[in-house]
Structures are given as structure tokens and as C-alpha cells.
Amino acid sequence: MRTEWYKEDSFYQIWIRSFKDGNGDGIGDLKGVLEKLEYVKSLGVDGIWFSPIYPSPNADYGYDISDYCGIHPDYGTMDEFREVLLKAHELGLKVVMDLVINHTSDEHPWFKESRKSRTGPYADYYHWKDRPNNWDSFFEGKAWTYCPERDQYYLHLFSVKQPDLNMDNPEVREEVKRIMRFWLDMGVDGFREDVITYISKREGLPDGWPVPILGAMHHYKDGPHIHEYLREFRAVTDDYDVFQVGEGPMTWLRTAKSYLTGPGKSLDMMISFDHMVCDCLFTEYIPLPFSLLRYKRALSRWQYGLAGKAWNALYIENHDHPRVISRYGSEEYRKESGKTLAASYLFLQGTPFIYQGQEIGMTNIRLPDINDYADVSTRHNFSTYHLKKTIEERMEYIYRSSRDSARTPLQWSGGKNAGFTDAETAWFAINGNFAEVNVEEEEKDPLSILHFYREALALRKREKALLYGKYRLLSPLDRHFFAYERTYGGEKEASRENSADAGGTGDRRAAEEQILVVCHFGREPGTFRVPRSWRGRKARLILDTENRHTGAGEETLPDKLSFGAYGAQVYKACAREENHGK
């Protein structure tokens, strides 16, 4: 039986290599995770999403899998994983695994077999062609690489070492189901499904438009059999009480609904990218100034679009994007903007995901040389684009865009190697700001980003309005403030099982609860004009980035709210007069 437990939950994403080293070899591992589970729990989250921890040659740091049912020796053993799972469950933390089935590693046994001959049992596990078409890969030039043994080319939408699986082959789909059951039977609580919207390719793999990288997308994004295949996988999870969140790069709202709603529903949530391109054009490698209007619009589009129909996945960071403070906030006002960014998304409707290090406000790294970078896409971008510019200018693009900024070791303390490892050096460079930005320091500081996350997550769990309330964007054209309200009850009472928001099926009238969230983006002090519907109402400051709310009583909301550089205030209105006695 499937319940919708994930709606009130929030998740912490672990990219294990940089989370915590437990055995002193400089690389994060399961032992380190085990040590830090209480810390994760202390944030107030309800679960963990593990980016891939499976055996992998690490051409794309785990997203190139060579054994779906194993643990990478760098990270430990299956027994250690079972121990983590058990302890997580004891602490009340769910565990969600990354399911990467668009491609495998070229070192996966299936591919090793497949490349040998055109007739063997694995011959059709991948996409092979005598002549490549014109598709580009996302990471490394053309999407086709020649293989002399077969005298054919294989398709790889990502790196050369990530051949795309041929999902049209029913045997491949059976393999996927076996992998899913393997982890589900072990007790994991769901999957985050990597580029899941790309797994069905157009028959014949025709040429795309002559446009770099994106030109062939319409031949594999939301492909011809995608819903059929995902429904097969959904039938597997139907036997377990788990959820599935899919990653859908460049998936628009309307398409997302085809996955998230109706009898053919195949996913519970979609990781969308709309709000992650508010300071760039398609990719962080083509930078633009941050636009708060775009951010508000993108988030609001999904809030309105899915209301009452489906559930959102909420995030502002993960292992694929540079740190959000460096992008949408301000490193100079790190603390203020880090908290403001938290408030800007944690109180929307959906299940929040928090990426390791986000909760302490980690920022981007600037390494002197391109060879200091590990990420395949970072290195490829450097060697391919803006070649007429100077090395310094090209490095500036890397600083703006590199995924490695999100992959530096987590800063646990101001001590040696930021408390990440006892080894002489960590596997990857540690951000130079670790003396100031680390878990230990933030534990001590009541005004830290860390404490703000804790408070915000606890508040979200407490307030029905923040979980299920109706969303409304306020002052949509304001360029310095992102303000929204959440309204719960008032009409009909929601019931958790049957509805995605407050428009539930019960018929009891509930007292209306309303929450106002105001986030200030900008270095200059600013004043927010309270919208008419809120002016003069009795409300209580229930959270703010300067801790003025502690002990704040009920007050009449002023017409204007003042803010310093960045900042957020959250008010809860007392029941409206007209609702009294109803």
C-alpha cells in the first residue's frame, strides 16, 4: 500500500565522497555517514538521499555505475550500508537511493559484453549504429563513440564512459526492475531517478536540429515510450510504501504533469530546473546577472501549476550546481543571504531537499588551475568554449559554473582538513573559508545559518499552512522582495491522505490559518510595503533571520516592514474576524 508520507518530510542529500571520511584515507565513506547520522537527524530532516554509492570508475563520480547492486570499495561494504540503513531507520530517517538507468559505466559487465559482438546476449543492451547521427552529448562533444570490436558507434548522452542503455529492449527493463527490487527488499524508502525523462529514444535515432547540445533533445526527452516504461517500474514500487522522485532537466510544467498526475502517474515528484537558471542561459556556463523576478516566476509557476494536482520537490542546491549563496545570494552577506534563500523555498508547498553543506552556507571554490578540477563537464567546458579569451577569463567562467564548487569536502570544523579527514590531505581541495564556515562554529552561533535551517524545518513541520496551505505570490513585480502567503483551512478541511493541498474532501469547516513569508534580496536596506490584504491585521512574527521573533507576541502588522542587507520575516496571522464563531 502506498501512502503519501513524504509530503510532510524533508530530505538531506549526501554526496558521499565529500561528506565525512571515517577511515582516514581522505575519501568520504559509509563509516563517516554512520558517525554523522545524529547530526543529520538534528537538522530536523526526515531522510537521506544518497547520490550513487555503487562501484564506479568515477568518470562522472558515481553516475557511471559498474555494479548496481554493490557498494564502491572507497565507501565501504554492503554490510556497512546495511548498518547505516538500520541506524537511519532507528533514528526515524528514511533512506532514498539514486537510480541511474539512462546509462551505465562502459566498465559495466553488460557493456563489456555488448561491445564484443553484434550477436551476443548483451548485443542490444545499448544503442549501436553503423553511422553516428548528429547528436551532441552533454559532457564531451559528439554523443557517439566508435568501438573497433563491433565496428560500430555507441550512444552516450553524457560522457564517453556513460553508454546509454537501450530501454526498448525488454531485458534491460527487467534488469532495472531487478535492481529496484534488490534495494526495496533491503528496505530502502524510495528512489531519486536520474535523467529519467531521457530513457526512451525516438525509433531509428534520427538526426536532430543543427543546434549545439540541445538540437536533438526532442528525440529523447519525454520520448515515445517513456510513460509505458515508467509505468512498468511504477508497478514494482506499488508493492512497497515508497516514493519516486524523478529528475527532469528542462521539463516544463505541462509535461511534468503527465508524469505526476492521472491514472498513468509514474512519479511522485519531479526535480525541475526552471528556478535553477535565474542567473544564466540554460547552463551556468553562460552566465547572466541573477534575476529575482525570474526566480519568483519560476517557483510560482510550479506552485500554482501543481496545486491540488501533484506535489513539488523543492531544492536550491545539489551536486550539479555551484553553491546558491554564490549565485543567488551574496558571499559578502553570506549569513544573511544564506538564511534568506532558505526561507525563500522551504515554506513553499512540496518536499524540501537540502544538499550537504547548504545548511552551513558553504560557498563556491576558486582553484588556480583547471587541472585542479575533477568534474568531467567542468574540464570539457574549459577546453571547448570561450577559447579566444585569456586563461584568467576562462577560469572566471569555471568559478561561476563548476559543479566541483558543490563537491568540496564538507566543513565540519576549523581544524585540520576542516575536520573532514584525518588523512594528510583530502581527496579534493577544501574551501579556504573553512576556519569561519564550519559546522562546529555554526553550532555555537545562535544566529547561524545552521540554526536557521533547524528552526525553519521545525516550523514547516508544525504549521499545517506551510505543509498544505494554498500558495499565493504577493507583489509579483517587486525586484527586491520575494513575498508569498500560504493559506490553510477557511473553506474545507484538508485531509492528508486524499489531497495535495487544502482543497480536500472533508466537509468540516476549519479555522483559517495564514502565513506570510517576506524575503529581502539585496545589499541595501529595503522596505517592504505590506499588501492591502495583510495591512493592519493581528499577526505574530514566528521566524526571522535576525532572531527578533523569539518571544514576539501578537502585534498589528505595520504597513511597511524594514530589512537590512538580505533577510526574511515570517508572520502568522491570527484567525480573521469573519471566521470567528463559524
Minimum Å distance from CB 63 to ligand TEU?
Answer: 3
Contact status, residue 480 vs residue 526, Cβ threshold 8 Å: yes
Q: Name the residue nearer to ligand TEU (CB basis): 340 or 402.
A: 402
- Residue whose C-alpha is closest to residue 242's, from 273, 264, 263, 269: 269
Q: How far apart are the first and last CA of the chain?
A: 37
Locate cell 526561507: which residue? 343
- Residue whose C-alpha is closest to residue 520's, from 571, 482, 486, 561: 482
Work out which of 138, 220, 397, 484 binds ligand TEU, going by CB under 6 A: 138
* Position 195 contacts ligand TEU (CB under 6 A): yes
> Environment class of residue 249 by beta-carbon count within 10 Å: exposed (0-12), middle (13-18) or buried (19+)?
middle
Minimum Å distance from CB 19 to Ca ion?
Answer: 10
Catalytic residue among 194, 222, 317, 478: 194
What's the DSSP call for residue 278? Answer: T
| C-alpha cell, 16 | 558521499
* Position 154 contacts ligand TEU (CB under 6 A): no
What does the per-residue mask of binding to Ca ion show for 28-67, with x meaning CB under 5 A? Answer: -x--------------------------------------
Q: Name the residue nearer to ligand TEU (CB basis): 58 or 545.
A: 58
Residue 124: count of CB within 10 angstroms of its CB: 16
Kindly indicate which of the ranges 15-23, 205-213, 283-291, 326-334 contains the residues binding Ca ion, using the contact rule CB under 5 A.
15-23
Q: What are phi and psi of 490, to 5 degrees?
A: 90, -50
Q: Name the residue nearer to ligand TEU (CB basis): 349 or 356.
A: 356
* Position 23 contacts Ca ion (CB under 5 A): yes
Element (H, E) at 297: helix 292-306
**Amino acid sitting at position 338:** G
> Is the Cα dihedral 353, 357, 361, 365 positive or negative?
negative
| C-alpha cell, 300 | 510560482
Residues 234-263 that bind ligand TEU (CB under 6 A): 247, 249
Minimum Å distance from CB 218 to ligand TEU?
Answer: 16
Work out which of 11, 12, 49, 63 binds ligand TEU, going by CB under 6 A: 63
Q: Name the residue nearer to ligand TEU (CB basis): 283 or 499.
A: 283
Catalytic residue among 46, 106, 140, 247: 247
Residues 461-490 that bind ligand TEU (CB under 6 A): none
Residue 180: count of CB within 10 angstroms of its CB: 23
- Residue whose C-alpha is closest to residue 199's, from 251, 143, 238, 157: 157
Q: Name the residue nearer to Ca ion (CB basis): 27 or 292.
A: 27
Residue nearest to Ca ion (CB): 29
> Is the Cα dihedral 178, 179, 180, 186 positive or negative?
positive
* Position 141 contacts ligand TEU (CB under 6 A): no
Q: Residue 27's binding partner, choosing from Ca ion, ligand TEU, none, with beta-carbon cut-off 5 to 8 A by kind?
A: Ca ion
Q: Name the residue nearer to ligand TEU (CB basis): 68 or 471.
A: 68
- Residue whose C-alpha is closest to residue 97's, from 174, 215, 36, 181: 181
Residue count of the chain: 582
Q: Name the residue nearer to ligand TEU (CB basis): 272 or 431.
A: 272
What does the per-residue mask of binding to ligand TEU show for 369-388, with x meaning CB under 6 A? Answer: --------x-----------
Contact status, residue 69 vs residue 182, Cβ threshold 8 Å: yes
Q: CA torsion 135→136→137→140, rounded to 10°?
A: 140
Query: With DSSP H G I counted as helix, E B as strand and the rest as coil, what are the percentages for the chain, rounded to 5?
Result: 30, 20, 50
Q: Residue 493's binding partner, choosing from ligand TEU, Ca ion, none, with beta-carbon cut-off 5 to 8 A by kind?
A: none
Is 568 strand, coil or helix? strand
Q: Residue 194's binding partner, choosing from Ca ion, ligand TEU, none, with beta-carbon cut-off 5 to 8 A by kind?
A: ligand TEU
CB contact set of 399 (below 8 Å; sequence gap of 6+): 364, 366, 405
Minimum Å distance from CB 271 to ligand TEU?
Answer: 9
Q: Name the residue nearer to ligand TEU (CB basis): 386 or 549.
A: 386
Residue 35: active-site member: no
Q: Name the residue nearer to ligand TEU (CB basis): 63 or 488.
A: 63
Work out which of 320, 359, 463, 513 binds ligand TEU, going by CB under 6 A: 320
* Position 57 contacts ligand TEU (CB under 6 A): no
Minimum Å distance from CB 21 to Ca ion?
Answer: 4
| C-alpha cell, 245 | 522522485
Residue 194: active-site member: yes
Work out which of 158, 295, 373, 382 binds ligand TEU, going by CB under 6 A: 158
List residues binding Ca ion (CB under 5 A).
Answer: 21, 23, 25, 27, 29
Residues annotated as catalytic are 194, 247
Contacts with ligand TEU by CB under 6 A lie at: 60, 63, 100, 138, 158, 194-195, 247, 249, 283, 319-320, 377, 403
